[in-house]
Amino acid sequence: MKIIMLGAPGAGKGTQAKMIADKFGIPHISTGDIFRANIKEGTELGKKAKEYMDQGALVPDELTCDLVVDRIKQDDCSKGYILDGFPRTIPQAECLTKALADMDDKIDYAINVDVPDENIVRRMSGRRACVGCGATYHIVYNPTKTEGICDRCGKELILRDDDKPETVQKRLTVYHEQTQPLIDYYKEKGALAEVDGTQDMQDVFNGIVKILEG
């Protein structure tokens, strides 16, 4: 079972990916984790990626694709895997499709967790992070016992720059320009499945499981 998670930033696809990985016993693979692991191990690909990252530049599509393909060739991916955060662009998707075709393989499902922009802005701007221990909360869905104070360590909570409405809106604009076309790409390949991400987290998960167990 080879799965790609699609969805805007803040749609909850990372949380769903972890839950799916646990249920089906397949690895949850995020590009961030792959970069960190390769850099830490000092692999050839890791060294190349680090050069770009040290300059504050984006790692090129081809190199990112090579890192992902290298990861999915590992033994723990023999039953399948779930990709989170890759591909982000059409060139990355095409590169992955070609690499998998060379291995006589393909993606089974591209699951789009669909959440309207206004819900995402509302959801993310309600997040709060502790300045002390880094714990995260939400003023509506996961509030602290005392407003503005961390339950764990008692330090104050802040709205991170990343979660401010104007920043979220910018990230959504980039998403619609670059990543949204992937929905059409995988639809054409007959691999797209959509789930309503505005539901309760468990209901979203149940919907995905239903798709996968078909």
Which positions are annotated as active-site residues?
A: 13, 88, 127, 160, 171
* 3 state SS of 63: helix
DSSP strands (E only) in the chain? 2-6, 28-30, 81-84, 109-114, 127-130, 136-138, 157-158, 192-196
Rounded Cα gap, residues 161 and 129, in angstroms: 11
What amino acid occupies position 121?
V
**Listed residue (56, 12, 6, 10) closest to 170, CA to CA:** 10
Please say whether the beta carbons of 53 and 63 come within 8 A.
no
Instruction: Tell me the C-alpha distance between 109 and 155, whole Å.
Output: 43
**What Å distances lie between residue 44 and 35, 66, 67, 70, 162, CA to CA?**
12, 11, 10, 12, 32
Q: What is the DSSP letter of 59?
A: P
Of the candidates 212, 214, 195, 211, the one whose C-alpha atom is nearest the C-alpha of residue 12 is: 195
Residue with tokens 């075709």: 101
